[in-house]
Chain A
Amino acid sequence: MTPNPKRPIKDPKAPKEATPPRPAEKDASDLNADFAKFTKDMYVRQLELFSQWNGLLSNNMPTQEESSVLSNIVMEHIKQSTGRFEEFMTQNAKPGPEIVENQRRLMLDFIDNYNQMLKEIMATGQFTSMVGQALSKSMEDQRNYEKARDQMAGQLGFPSKSDIRELHESIHFINKRLDEIERLVRKALREE
């Protein structure tokens, strides 16, 4: 075979040149690199986020008992208000279809109606009567507890809250009397 003068002769001992990747392979390799970067970035940010939540919650988490009480209150509230809210929305719904612009507006409308509903409920005689009775009962219980505590304090030889209140009452009336005397003295001095 006669060597072609236009084609350079390869030196078989020369080090092999790296074969340039074909375009499709290069793209795949870039994609893999992008994905690795994306995964790593998400992972790092997630870790940062978890650490932030952890820091926040570990110092402020309610106890199991508190959580249970809280969730019971919330569940009871949701149960009671759902039916009432549905009724309210049905009664107050505007006739005809209306296109909601976006989720934010829907949420604000919902909260606005919910607020109005709560205010309506709180203005009813039933609600005010219930709150009045509950407050009254709670105050009676508190008073009984304070009586028992005062008795115990008395038995231990400590002044009770009512003793301190009595003392303050006396001081208050002495102050009032002093003010009155001061006023009379000023008046007498002016007349002189």
Chain B
Amino acid sequence: MADNKGASNDDLRRMMQIQYALFDEMTKNQLKAIKGIKLLIDPPKVEVGMTRSEEVFSKNRMRLLHYLPTTEVKYKTPLLFVYAVINRPYILDLQPDKSVVKKFVDAGFDVYMIDWGYPGIGDEHIGTTEYIEQYIGSAVKAIKERTGSKKISMLGYCIGGYFCTIYSAVHPESVANLMVMAAPLYFNIDHGLLHIWTKDKNFDPQKVVEVFGSAPADFLNGGFSMLDPMPNTIMKYYGLFQGLDNDEFVLNFLRMEKWIKDGIAIPGKFYAEFIKGGYQENQLFNGKLTIGDKLVNLTNIDMPVMIIVGASDHLVPMAATKPLYDRVSSKVKEILEYPTGHIGLSVSGKAHRDVWPKAVDWLAKNTLTQTGGPAKDAPARPKATRSKKR
């Protein structure tokens, strides 16, 4: 070492330092990558849906959850969240600081949520009519009986918004306020990959249903991740790599991953009806959708309506939700548009800062106007009821 010719010891020492720094960086990155991969292969358990609730009614696999008040109930009209039949509803209550449910509970609303459970082989025959009349219908009835309220407010997310819109059109007498967020309602649009794929004449949903009896969760998730391929695949792991040292970020990432992987199958009958009657025939807006023997007429919707949309929603473009505004006969109606995506509406910190306080205020104001003031007594609380599981 000391006999090197042409390079001084200082040069050698500097080279060694550079080499060591490079090696150090490389090692650190590799150890970080290993940590990230281990985290993905065997993720630690993360808690979701932390707002306290109790099951107050159930029908087959559907459960109706009632959130325990955290403050005095200020509004007489109960609020029912109806989530989509894809993935699980705890995305609306992912973690305390990003919980849409908690926002409403903390504001003094009496909040309920429909959890569809995990549909199985016996649920293939559940179609739109069954969802509206048998399931949502019985949940609304259970809430009315528990609270003594004649009407409820509804907040529907994604396909849950589709259900709430139909329910409100078929049973306007039961709905005090309708809020829909990122709901696929109007399908006659030529952008959005889901709209393009499902319109193709070669795509026959019935064939999927004939084989699987339902639309399997993996089949659906594969399609969803391709809607924005790089961010939904490689880039999210790149993001994880960048934020591995931030525990809060990692926990948030794991909660989202848990939710994404916690997919549920869509019952075959509804899947075929939704693709054919929705994406391919736009029946809801063409006035051709029937629930049982009733034709769904959107002009029957006369209660206050709030439409919440994400400007960069790849799954349900804004153009698939906004046309509801012009079709309802409500006097009080509002569109809340925000620059975020489909899931960002419920979990992004910015949406929780800018969107949900406005939505809570809107519902509070309308509820007070309708009921003539704040609730004096907390709503009656009969014992939890449970329908027989058949």
Q: Which chain A residues have a beta carbon within 8 Å of chain B's beta carbons? A: 25, 27-29, 31-32, 34-35, 38, 41-42, 45-46, 49, 52-53, 56, 60, 111-112, 114-115, 118-119, 122-123, 125, 128-129, 131-133, 135-136, 139-140, 142-143, 146, 164-165, 168-169, 171-176, 178-179
- Interface of B, secondary structure class, is helix
Q: List 9 A-B contacts (CB under 8 A).
A: A31-B9, A123-B193, A128-B200, A132-B204, A135-B207, A136-B207, A165-B121, A171-B122, A172-B122
Bound state CA distance, A35 and B210, in angstroms? Answer: 70
Residues of A within 8 A of B235 (CB): 111
Residues of A within 8 A of B210 (CB): 139, 143
Task: Tell me if A129 and B234 are in contact (CB < 8 A).
Answer: no
Instruction: Write the nearest CB–CB distance from B302 to chain A, whole angstroms.
Output: 26
Partner of B121, one of A115, A118, A168: A168
Instruction: Write the nearest CB–CB distance from A117 to chain B, whole angstroms.
Output: 10
Known: A122-B226, A179-B134. A129 touches B200 (CB 8 A): yes
Task: Tell me if B13 and A128 are in contact (CB < 8 A).
Answer: no
- Interface of A, secondary structure class, is helix
Task: Tell me if B211 and A164 are in contact (CB < 8 A).
Answer: no
11 new A-B contacts, CB < 8 A, other than A143-B207, A169-B125, are A42-B20, A111-B235, A115-B229, A118-B229, A122-B226, A123-B196, A135-B202, A136-B203, A172-B125, A175-B60, A178-B390
Task: Tell me if B1 and A146 are in contact (CB < 8 A).
Answer: no
Known: A118-B230, A139-B210, A171-B122. A52 touches B197 (CB 8 A): no
Bound state CA distance, A56 and B20, in angstroms? Answer: 25
Known: A56-B37, A129-B202, A131-B197. A31 touches B122 (CB 8 A): no
The closest CB in chain A to the CB of B204 belongs to A136
Known: A132-B200, A146-B211. A111 touches B124 (CB 8 A): no
- Which residues of B, 69-121, contact A by the 8 Å Cβ criterion? 121
Task: Tell me if A140 and B1 are in contact (CB < 8 A).
Answer: no
The closest CB in chain B to the CB of A145 belongs to B211
Bound state CA distance, A115 and B236, in angstroms? Answer: 13
Interface presence of B336 (CB below 8 A): no
- Which residues of B, 185-243, contact A by the 8 Å Cβ criterion? 193, 196-197, 200-204, 207-208, 210-211, 213, 226, 228-231, 234-235
Residues of A within 8 A of B1 (CB): 28, 31-32, 35
Task: Tell me if B390 and A171 are in contact (CB < 8 A).
Answer: yes
Q: What per-residue 1/0 map shows which CB atoms of B4-45 lie under 8 Å from chain A?
A: 000001001100100010010001001100100110010000
Bound state CA distance, A75 and B169, in angstroms? Answer: 52
Residues of B within 8 A of A139 (CB): 207-208, 210-211
